[in-house]
Structure 1
Amino acid sequence: MIVEEKIKEAEVETSIVENTKLVLVGEGVFPIIKDANGACIKDIPNTGFGISGTVQGEGKLAGTPSLFIRLASCNLRCIWQMEDGSFCRCDTSYASFHPEDKKSWSIQEIVDVVRHNIGNMQHVVITGGEPLLQKKGVTALCKTLKEELNVHITIESNGTLFDEELTKWVDLFSISPKLSNSVPSADKMKFYNEAENGSSRYHHEIRRNLTALQNYVTVANSTTTELQLKFVVGKVSDEAEIINDYLKLLSGYNQQDIMLMPLGATHEQLANSTPIVLKMCIANGWKYSPRIHIDIFGSKQGV
């Protein structure tokens, strides 16, 4: 009976992997040189290199060779304001505002693409958009990646959603809680010719899910899963909000897990926000996160 039950469980898991779909955007899995069958792809990656992979550009693992998996759609769609009053939209707006270049992938197809492109790398980053909008499929993907390839998995999320089952298969949760400066207000939307639709994403109180964030902290404290809380900062006033609206209301987090990253999708924007962030990090003992991709590639997609 035990053997039969295990066979049935395996059959169910196989069915989930075969039938579950994830909606990916842009290149989907990138940068790659081979498809799911191991055949060479005609075009070279946007990195300009004839090899698979890039480096993680942000957070604790900045500089680490990695493959990326980018999911479509986001529940926040951020637009920030710089200290000089100018606006800065999410640097992956093609995955959040208008994810039109998207495709449904099976779990096995994604895993096979990773298998044929991972090479000597050990890290896979699942990002978006917001990955947890597709949490059932993402959980199945992470489980399969772990069981078949045993790679290190990072999930990049805005921290508004939490799923306990997913935490079993993730090595690092890179959570980027959004400050009120990121709310896509009417004037910001008008600037980018975007139409408001009455969504709750325009209300900061709903965008700030302290229960979900506390759950991530608890998981990091009770398991081997790592955590970083990475705030995007563009204004001097962001400092007080990080402290009063987030850190004072969360318990048990590690000071070394608090990271600040300068706002900007261009070199010019980063030049303006970086001094603000550096000073803030030093004054509070927080870590500074670079934005390596923008430093090297600018706003190019798929790198």
Structure 2
Amino acid sequence: MSKIVLANEGVFPITKDKHDNPLKSIPATGMKTSGTIQGEGKLAGVPSLFIRLAGCNLRCMWSLPDGSFCRCDTPYASFEAEQELQLSQEDIFTLVQHNIGNLNHVVLTGGEPMLQHRHLAMLSGRLKEELQLHLSIETNGTIFAEDVAQHIDLFSISPKLKNSNPSAQKLAAYGLKPNGPLTYHAEKRRNIEVLQKYIDFCNASGKELQLKFVVGQPNDYIEIKEEFLAHLNNWNPADILLMPLGATPEELKTTSVMVAEMAISNGWRYAPRLHIDLFGSKAGV
């Protein structure tokens, strides 16, 4: 039976195992119930379960306004995916089934979940058809796969700006050597053809879309306009979201007001990171 490679969180936050038995420890949220809230985007605040897939074809490393660096906030699903789980689709489905409770929303995230689209298509189909769940997928917008897309209700697409490119200085700061995605991130991060496929698919099918840009520099709005939106057709301004760069409350303080002003001046939407406000910077929440 084919298996899906998950990050060490797997399906989270949960309180029961695949046999419907209570787990000995409570979730990282500190709450005695399965589920958390979606912390980002249009559905911020919606009670949700998450399925985090391991592996990513990009390696985001940003610069904050003060010159310090901030890399992907889930490095264990991309940079350091050595603590991964391999679970069958049946086991993942059963974990969701036993922990979904009164929730109706499951988020497929990563890493980059579309890297495993063939196996994910079968799982998402079962979650949709048998449990009638609302499915969101969080993707970097470099891969489009209709076998998964047909089951998704909301596409949360986060195209990466130039500020995310690894540099020699950033690599040195994290003690990393250029290899794999670190060498081709800059070439792969912007895929207009794929982004247009998502927009066209959503317009044709009536599905929801958001283009969620992580913003950390005062002039990022220029790149969003000139390098992305100017090359895309039939997008809706209401679907453009700006999310402040930062993986900790302290980092978010350096970008949030700047990003809010940028969103307001361009008529776009500001996207907070509610899970960091509630739980801080940690996995499994």
**Could you state the TM-score of these two structures normalised by the residue count of structure 2?**
0.98
Larger radius of gyration: 1
Q: Which residue of 85, 88, 105 corresponds with 2:70?
A: 88
Q: For 1:120 and 1:206, how far apart are their aligned partners in 2?
A: 39
Structure 2 residue 247 is the aligned partner of structure 1 residue 265: yes
- 1:169 aligns to what SS in structure 2? coil
**What is aligned with 1:15?**
none
**What is aligned with 2:105?**
123
Q: Which residue of 68, 86, 105 corresponds with 1:104?
A: 86
The CA deviation at 1:204 is 2.4
- 1:265 aligns to what SS in structure 2? coil
The CA deviation at 1:37 is 1.2
- 1:165 aligns to what SS in structure 2? helix
CA contact (8 A) 2:59 2:79 kept: yes
The CA deviation at 1:205 is 3.5
Alignment length (residue pairs)? 285
Within 5 Å, give how 1:259-298 maps onto structure 2: 259-298=241-280
- 1:247 aligns to what SS in structure 2? helix
**What is aligned with 2:150?**
168
CA contact (8 A) 2:263 2:269 kept: yes
**What is aligned with 2:192?**
210
**What is aligned with 1:300?**
282
**What is aligned with 1:220?**
202
**Structure 1 segments unaligned to the other structure (5+ residues):** 1-18
Within 5 Å, give how 1:48-63 maps onto structure 2: 48-63=30-45
Structure 2 residue 115 is the aligned partner of structure 1 residue 133: yes
**Structure 2 segments unaligned to the other structure (5+ residues):** none
- Give aligned-pair identity as a percent: 56
CA contact (8 A) 2:143 2:194 kept: yes
CA contact (8 A) 2:118 2:147 kept: no
**What is aligned with 1:41?**
23
The CA deviation at 1:200 is 6.8
Within 5 Å, give how 1:231-250 maps onto structure 2: 231-250=213-232
**Could you state the TM-score of these two structures normalised by the residue count of structure 1?**
0.92
CA contact (8 A) 1:158 1:175 kept: yes
**What is aligned with 1:64?**
46
